[in-house]
């Protein structure tokens, strides 16, 4: 069954223009001018239940607008959208009981009082029975190690602690689908890992479908089996992360540290016939770049056979670079 089904979804906004200078301002006082902006252009995608999908794109690409349409906040201009069997913008109150939403930069917790008070309030809002609530809360608290934080006011929490609490707040009613908008923004690496592990576990155990937007591609690498990439309101890539990598990354780099100084000509002679390039960094270290077409073990064995080696490092092109590359080529082609 599909958790999210989107077809030819479109959203356009009317944006007000400000004319320049005093004269322009006086004219605006009398009559406004508007321009039409298409934030999301005819996008289509389907997400089956239990999938974790990454939704990425630069600022202003239309990510937030899509999420807002999927969570029932915005009404689409045209197209079809169905989430968990509901059309989000109709029957809003029934629909939202089925989803959880975390906006990374905005808190849904009371600022001045203990976190637990906010949880109690949310229990009432979502009408969760006391027993279910207790069980659920205990489990979440244990998993995210919130124990002693529960009675602290939100303003006294660190960003990482707060984000963990936000997650609990969005999951108290056991939603089938979870939307996360920049859930790891501004967090340190340790907390990020913790949150990723938690989400992974949640998905495995409860089959919760998760759609997350992020700027941190490590989130994607750690969590998502699938990536949807957005640029200027249109989907430019939709598929697995592996495919993305193999399609777009052109190769990898291996760094060698030699026991004795080596000349560039020597290196070239070792790998003759293979389509690789050497780039010496100093007398003792050099980097070899090899495309995917070249077998790594063959290239390695040739070098190892010819020279005494102290250390080897392999660099995979990282997702950041790939994404940057896609955007650039996309801009060029369009």
Partner 1 sequence: MIYLQLFWEYFKNYAKTRLTYRADFWIEVLSDLLFQGMNLIFILVVFQHTQSLGGWSQAEVVFVYGYFMIPYGIFTTFFNLWNFSERYIVKGEMDRVLTRPAHNLAQIVLENMDPPSLIGSLVGAVIMAISGAQLGLSFDFTDFLMMILLVLGSVLVYAGIYIAITAIGFYSDSPTGIAPLMYNIQNYGRYPVGIYNKVIRFVLTWIIPFAFVGVYPASFFLNMDSGHNSPLALLTPVVGLVFVTAALLFWNHGVKRYRGAGS
Partner 2 sequence: MNNAYLDIIRIRFLTMLAYRVNYYSGIVIYAINIGAYYFLWQAIYGDQPTLGGFTVAQMTTYVAVSWMSRAFYFNNLDREIANEIRDGSVAIQFIRPYSYLLVKMMQGLGEGLFRLLLFMVPGMVVVCLIFPVTLPTSPQTWLIYFVMLVFSFLINTQINMLTGLFAFYVENNEGMMRMKRVMVDLFSGVIIPVSFFPGWLEAIMKWLPFQAITYLPSSVFTGRTEGGMALQVLGLQVLWFAVLLLPILWIWRKARHRLFVQGG
Among 7, 15, 17, 26, contact with partner 2 (rule: CB under 8 A):
26
Is the Cβ–Cβ distance between 112 and 155 less than 8 Å? yes
Backbone phi and psi for residue 13, each to the nearest 5 degrees, phi listed first: -120, 155
Stretch that binds partner 2, among 22-30, 34-42, 219-227, 313-321 (CB under 8 A): 22-30
Decide whether 28 or 58 has the Cβ nearer to partner 2: 28
Residues composing the chain:
334
Tokens 């807002």 correspond to 68
CB of 276 to partner 2, least distance (A): 53
Among 8, 15, 17, 25, contact with partner 2 (rule: CB under 8 A):
25
Q: Which residues contact 18 (CB under 8 A, 6 or more apart)?
A: 24, 25, 28
Decide whether 72 or 84 has the Cβ nearer to partner 1: 72
Residue 260 binding partner per list partner 1, partner 2, none, with a CB distance cut-off of 5 to 8 Å that depends on partner kind: none
Decide whether 79 or 251 has the Cβ nearer to partner 1: 79
For 305, counting Cβ atoms within 10 Å of its Cβ (0-12 exposed, 13-18 middle, 19+ buried), the class is exposed
Residue 25 binding partner per list partner 2, partner 1, none, with a CB distance cut-off of 5 to 8 Å that depends on partner kind: partner 2
Q: Which residues contact 59 (CB under 8 A, 6 or more apart)?
A: none
Comparing CA positions, the residue from 171, 161, 152, 173 lying closest to residue 110 is: 152
DSSP labels, 65-130: HHHHHHTTSS--SEEEEEETTB-TTSSHHHHGGGEEEEETTS--S-SSSBHHHHHHHHHHHTT--H
Q: Name the site residues for partner 1 (rule: CB under 8 A).
A: 11, 13-14, 65, 68, 71-75, 77, 89, 92-94, 96-97, 99, 101, 103, 106, 108, 110-114, 117-118, 120-121, 124-127, 153
Residue 45 binding partner per list partner 1, partner 2, none, with a CB distance cut-off of 5 to 8 Å that depends on partner kind: none
Residue 18 interacts with partner 2 (CB under 8 A)? yes
Residue 26 binding partner per list partner 1, partner 2, none, with a CB distance cut-off of 5 to 8 Å that depends on partner kind: partner 2
Decide whether 22 or 189 has the Cβ nearer to partner 2: 22
Helix (H), strand (E) at residue 195: helix 189-206
Comparing CA positions, the residue from 226, 189, 192 lying closest to residue 56 is: 226
Residue 189 interacts with partner 2 (CB under 8 A)? no
CB of 21 to partner 2, least distance (A): 8
Decide whether 26 or 259 has the Cβ nearer to partner 2: 26
Comparing CA positions, the residue from 10, 28, 8, 11 lying closest to residue 19 is: 28
Which residue ranges make up the site for partner 2 (CB under 8 A)?
18, 22, 25-26, 28-30
């Amino acid at each position: 069954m599909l958790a999210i089904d989107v077809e030819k979804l479109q959203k356009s906004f009317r944006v007000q223009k400000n004319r320049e200078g005093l004269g322009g301002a006086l004219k605006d006082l009398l009559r406004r001018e508007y321009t039409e902006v298409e934030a999301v252009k005819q996008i289509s995608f389907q997400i089956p239940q239990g999938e974790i999908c990454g939704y990425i794109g630069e600022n202003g690409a239309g990510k937030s607008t899509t999420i807002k349409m999927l969570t029932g906040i915005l009404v689409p201009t045209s197209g079809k959208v169905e989430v968990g069997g509901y059309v989000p913008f109709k029957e809003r109150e029934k629909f939202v009981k089925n989803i959880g939403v975390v906006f990374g930069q905005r808190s849904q917790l009371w600022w001045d009082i203990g976190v637990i008070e906010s949880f109690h309030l949310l229990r009432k809002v979502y009408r969760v029975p006391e027993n279910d609530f207790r069980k659920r809360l205990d489990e979440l608290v244990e998993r995210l190690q919130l124990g002693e934080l529960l009675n602290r006011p939100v303003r006294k929490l660190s960003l990482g602690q707060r984000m963990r609490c936000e997650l609990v707040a969005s999951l108290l009613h056991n939603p089938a689908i979870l939307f996360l908008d920049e859930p790891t923004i501004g967090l340190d690496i340790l907390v990020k890992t913790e949150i990723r592990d938690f989400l992974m576990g949640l998905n495995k155990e409860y089959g919760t479908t998760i759609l997350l937007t992020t700027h941190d591609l490590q989130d994607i690498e750690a969590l998502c089996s699938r990536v949807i990439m957005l640029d200027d309101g249109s989907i430019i890539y939709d598929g697995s992360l592996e495919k993305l990598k193999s399609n777009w990354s052109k190769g990898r780099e291996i760094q060698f540290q030699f026991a004795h100084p080596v000349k560039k000509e020597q290196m070239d002679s070792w790998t003759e016939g293979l389509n690789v390039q050497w780039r010496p960094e100093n007398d003792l270290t050099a980097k070899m770049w090899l495309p995917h077409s070249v077998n790594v073990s063959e290239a390695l064995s040739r070098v190892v056979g010819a020279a005494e080696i102290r250390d080897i490092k392999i660099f995979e092109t990282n997702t950041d670079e790939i994404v940057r590359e896609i955007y650039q080529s996309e801009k060029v082609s369009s």
